[in-house]
Each structure stands twice: as structure tokens, then as C-alpha cells.
Amino acid sequence: MMILQEKEIKKLLGQKEPVLFLDYDGTLTPIVKRPEDAIISDEMKTVLRECAKKFKVAVVSGRDMDDLKSKVNLGNLIYAGSHGFRISGPDGLYNEHEKTSEILPQLDKIEKLMQEVFPAIDSGIQIDRKRYAIGVHYRNAKEKNVPAIIGKVKEIVEKFPEFKTGEGKKIIEVKPDVDWHKGKALRWIMDKLGAADKNKFIPIYIGDDITDEDGFEAIKDFGIGILVGEHGKPTAAKYKLKDVSQVKEFLQTLAKTMN
């Protein structure tokens, strides 16, 4: 994997207009112990604002869409929350996956079961209820308890066929078992923006987590996938950035390239 410089960026873009997709945690903000403490810096917001003046920008995250919007708080961006299950943007852009609302009562039951069993396993577990998913964070749990935590989540979810589990960095997540993910959300957004013409537009996807692989995979033949750091698994991204500070530098260069 290569780290992109300005010269390479210009060559890759050619005459095409970029459409930028970014994860939030670990990409726009460093990973922190508590998800609620992941606050985007003023400098990063300034760079995002500058990018959004020149091309379309979407933030795609496992976070709830409303949480994502309040964290970034820029009005001219597209926000895809819950791995793309709910999308909102300028000019009335909106999508909510058709199957999700009808299975919310089942998710409530899963959350209740988790609240009952997890405190006894490890006090460092954080249960993060989102609208369409539940994230079980074990970053602050004892390492020896991690297999039991993951095993218990899977055991609970097996009783609810409408849901599946997915693992990320120090998190196991419960989400609807439907054929929808960050990559499909990306393609939906490109289509709705009128940016599906591969001769005129080029998607750039930047993310740090295993769930971002769906985004990288969706554009690997015609876009630019950039992995931030490492997630310990094979990646479909062709390029690499070391950390959040390098993401900021890349975005500054990208905005400058589009002058």
C-alpha cells in the first residue's frame, strides 16, 4: 500500500471530480476509551468545510446518524449513520432502510438481556445502544474476559434470527441481518448524487476499521480506497495513511488539488 502525495493524487483524479467518503472514529477523530469522548478537532472541521465547498463529502459511520450529525455539525455534508441504514444530506437527500424499524422491538429485548448479564462478566464493558444496532465495547475490559464477552454476545444473538454480529476494533456489534452495509450505502449515495458515471466522478473512501472493508470493496475497481492505520485483517484498500493527522494532511492536499 502507498501513501499518497499531491502528485499521485492529481494523477489518480485526472479530470474526474472526487466524491469523498470518510469514517468517523479512527479517521476524523482518534480512537478513545469512551465513544462519547471522540470529538472532532476544529482543524479537521475546517478542512472538511473546505473540501465540501469543492466536492461532495459524506461521513459514513456505525454511529447513529443523529449522533454523527451533532458531532461533526456541518450543514453541507451527507451523513450515513448505522453503517448506512439511515442517510441524510442537503437538498432533501434521505434514506432509511425499509426493514429496520419493524425489528426494533427485538433489539430492545437483546439490549435488556445484555444489561442483565454483562456487568457480572466485566465492569469495563460498555453497551452502546444505537437506533438500529448495539455496540458492545470491550476496550476497557480485562483481556482475559474478551473471549467470554464475544461468546456471550453471539450466544444471545443466536436466539434472534433477524440480527447478526460483526466485529471491529475492540467492539462486537449487533445489527440487522439484512444485505446492507457501508459499501451499498456508498453506491446509493453516488447514484442519488448523479455521480455514478465512472468517467466523470471518482469515489475516495477513507476508513480505519474492518467495517470499512465493504466500502473499499465497493470501489476497488474504479475508486481510491485508503486504510488508516491497521485493523489486522486483509484489506481491499490500495493506499494507506498512518493516523488521523495524516488524514487531515491528505484532505488539505486534496482540497488544494481541486483549486
What CATH number is attached to the domain comprising 69? 3.40.50.1000
Asked which of 67-81, 96-110, 169-183, 227-241 is least confident by mean pLDDT, the reply is 96-110
d(CA 190, CA 196): 5
The grid coordinates listed for 132 are 438500529
107 and 205, same domain (yes or no): no
- Using DSSP, state whether 3 is helix, strand or coil: coil
* Residue 3 scores a pLDDT above 70: no
Domain of residue 237: give its range. 6-97+180-257
49 and 155, same domain (yes or no): no
120 and 185, same domain (yes or no): no
pLDDT of residue 1: 57
For 209-231, give one letter per residue: b (16+ CB within 10 A) or e.
bbbbbbbbbbbbeebbbbbbbeb
* Residue 115 scores a pLDDT above 70: yes
Task: Specify the higher pLDDT residue, 8 or 87.
Answer: 87
Q: Calculate mean pLDDT across residues 122-131.
A: 91
Q: Are 75 and 59 in contact (CB under 8 A)?
A: no
For residue 127, the cross-strand partners are 136
Q: In which band, very low, low, confident or very high, does the pLDDT at 216 lie, cut at 50, 70 and 90?
A: very high
For residue 210, being part of any structural domain is answered with yes
70 and 10, same domain (yes or no): yes
28 and 131, same domain (yes or no): no
* Residue 234 scores a pLDDT above 60: yes
The grid coordinates listed for 129 are 445502544
pLDDT of residue 2: 64
The grid coordinates listed for 240 are 494507506
165 and 185, same domain (yes or no): no
146 and 192, same domain (yes or no): no
d(CA 145, CA 65): 31
The catalytic residue positions are 23
188 and 78, same domain (yes or no): yes
H or E stretch at 2: none
For residue 119, being part of any structural domain is answered with yes
* Residue 50 scores a pLDDT above 70: yes
196 and 69, same domain (yes or no): yes
Backbone Cα Rg of the chain: 18
Task: Calculate the average pLDDT of the chain.
Answer: 93
For residue 79, the cross-strand partners are 59, 88
Q: Calculate mean pLDDT across residues 150-160.
A: 96
* Domain count of the fold of the chain: 2
33 and 105, same domain (yes or no): no
167 and 196, same domain (yes or no): no
Q: Calculate mean pLDDT across residues 177-198.
A: 94
92 and 184, same domain (yes or no): yes
